[in-house]
Amino acid sequence: MVAYSLTEDDTDRIFKALADRTRRDIVRRTLAEGVSISRLAADYDMSFAAVQKHVAVLEAADLVARSPKGRERIITGNPETIQRAKQLLAHFETLWRGRIERLDALLAEDPPAAT
């Protein structure tokens, strides 16, 4: 399964990065189209430097990439990393659904006869 292509360190970096709402918003915006850091910063009530730090955390988790375009740096979301995280979550969902189905089957069995 592809989910295992994520190391434990990769998984920690991805989910720690996504634990912050500003970073989740940056990923959402940059998956749709590349956005300059200055354009990102204009939409948040924080300094340009703070937005750069958020982007750096996302880059370290491979959730976004930064590329030069003239004097600007364009941030683009990485859908492959999102897909790998999604596959990992799907794997956990499958495990838990299987456990719930087994529990449902045990509860649906006839109780033993009283003697």
pLDDT attached to residue 88? 87
Residue whose structure tokens are 């009530």: 45
At 115 the pLDDT is: 64
Q: Exposure of 114 by Cβ count < 10 A (0-12 exposed, 13-18 middle, 19+ buried)?
A: exposed
Instruction: Determine the pLDDT at residue 91.
Output: 85
Instruction: Give residue 55's pLDDT.
Output: 97
> What residues does each domain of the chain span?
2-108
In this prediction, residue 2 carries a pLDDT of 44
Question: How high is the mean pLDDT of the chain?
Answer: 89
> What pLDDT was estimated at residue 99?
84
pLDDT at 9 over 60: yes
φ, ψ for residue 110, nearest 5 deg: -65, 140
* pTM exceeds 0.85 for this model: no
- Which has the closest alpha carbon to 60: 101, 108, 112, 12? 12
Q: What is the pLDDT of residues 39-80, one digit of tens each?
A: 999 999 999 999 999 999 999 999 999 999 999 999 999 999
State the CATH class of domain 2-108: mainly alpha
For residues 41 and 81, is the Cβ–Cβ distance under 8 A?
no
